[in-house]
Amino acid sequence: MIPHVPIGEWVADAIDWLLATVPWLFDAISEVMSTIVTSLTDVLTTPAPVVWVVVLAVIALLVRGPWLALYAVAAFLLVVSLELWVETMQTLALVLVAALIAAAIGIPVGVLAARHRAVSIAVRPVLDFMQTTPVFVYLIPAVFFFGVGVVPGVVATILFAIPPGVRLTELGIRQVDREVVEAAQAFGARPGQILREVQLPLALPSIMAGVNQVIMLALSMVVTAGLLGAAGLGAVVVRAVTQLDVAAGVEGGLAVVLLAIYLDRLTASFGQQTALSRVLGTRRRSRAARAEDDAPARPAVEEPALSAR
């Protein structure tokens, strides 16, 4: 009675058409991404693990504080002892690249959506689609476009991780106090200035919560990426599943969790006052105070002379 609507075939045709028309585009994307991920992996794996354990601990100390630094040392030394260091760093590289690209796409789209109703309305169903479609469904075109290996994993991860970046950026900008935006307008600020100097800074906590979600979602995709042949903890887990190796599975899973906790706690404090900004802030303030002292002493004015300007 109701005729069959061949949506699936249309999409498949579209993908075939894309592959036939612009194969060089996918090759280029593939080339660039795999280069970035491999070089980052090289950077992370070439020095002795201890070097990076220390670096990660110092980052934790500056951004969050001593407890996360302590955690970083313990967690990453445990990873080393499990002999999963290289795989963990491969996963970290994949997650960082994917999250960076997802944020680089998601935040601007969120900004546009916050500023233009039409964009917001158009983007919302796309985001719903991206978040609810089973991950494996867009693994298929990813493989078509980029073959197997790390690149389709990164691409699938990016697609999966974009939505919270968009949503939380849009929300954050919409929640900025309307009167403050009005004040900027009332003093003659341009739309770009208002965005840069008012909306983005005030939306920062929300945007950073979005970045945190992007990273966590990216991390949750590593196993899926492993299925596609991306090296890292995903591959360890996939191998353990196929070989029914409980011990390897537990160890691989544990490494994912340890990395996840580290990244979550680290990025959750973005946008809030961090240990680093506290240190910098005090330094700035004390420098300003010194400048005040150095200035020639002004006569104390009781009733300010208004006309004297």
155-177 b/e (C-beta count within 10 Å ≥ 16 → b):
bbbbbbbbbbbbbbbbbbbbebe
- CB 300 to other proteins: min, Å: 11
| Measured CA angle at 304 (ends 298, 309), to 5 deg | 80
Residue 186 binds other proteins, judged by CB under 8 A = yes
Q: Are 97 and 33 in contact (CB under 8 A)?
A: yes
* Residue 146 Cα distances to 26, 31, 40, 227, 307, angstroms: 7, 10, 20, 14, 71
Residue 309 binds other proteins, judged by CB under 8 A = yes
List the x/- string, 162-181, binding to other proteins by CB under 8 A: ---------------x-xx-
Distance (Å, rounded) from C-alpha 134 to C-alpha 101? 21
Residue 307 binds other proteins, judged by CB under 8 A = yes
Residue 306 binds other proteins, judged by CB under 8 A = yes
Closer residue to other proteins, CB minimum distance, 186 or 246: 186
- CB 197 to other proteins: min, Å: 7
Q: Within 193-212, which residues bind other proteins (CB under 8 A)?
A: 193, 197-198, 201-202
- CB 109 to other proteins: min, Å: 24
* Residue 64 Cα distances to 145, 187, 221, angstroms: 40, 37, 26
Residue 183 binds other proteins, judged by CB under 8 A = yes
Residue 280 binds other proteins, judged by CB under 8 A = no
Closer residue to other proteins, CB minimum distance, 82 or 209: 209
**The residue type at 258:** L
* Residue 223 Cα distances to 38, 119, 123, 147, 154, angstroms: 18, 33, 28, 17, 12
Residue 296 binds other proteins, judged by CB under 8 A = no
The structure tokens listed for 309 are 């300007």
- Helix, strand, coil percentages for the chain (3-state, nearest 5): 80, 0, 20
Residue 283 binds other proteins, judged by CB under 8 A = no
- CB 284 to other proteins: min, Å: 9
Give the single-character DSSP code of 197. I
- Applying CB under 8 A, the span of 63-71, 153-161, 183-191, 237-245 interacting with other proteins comes to 183-191
Q: Are 258 and 56 in contact (CB under 8 A)?
A: no
- CB 36 to other proteins: min, Å: 33
Residues that bind other proteins (CB under 8 A): 177, 179-180, 182-190, 193, 197-198, 201-202, 285, 288-289, 301, 304, 306-307, 309
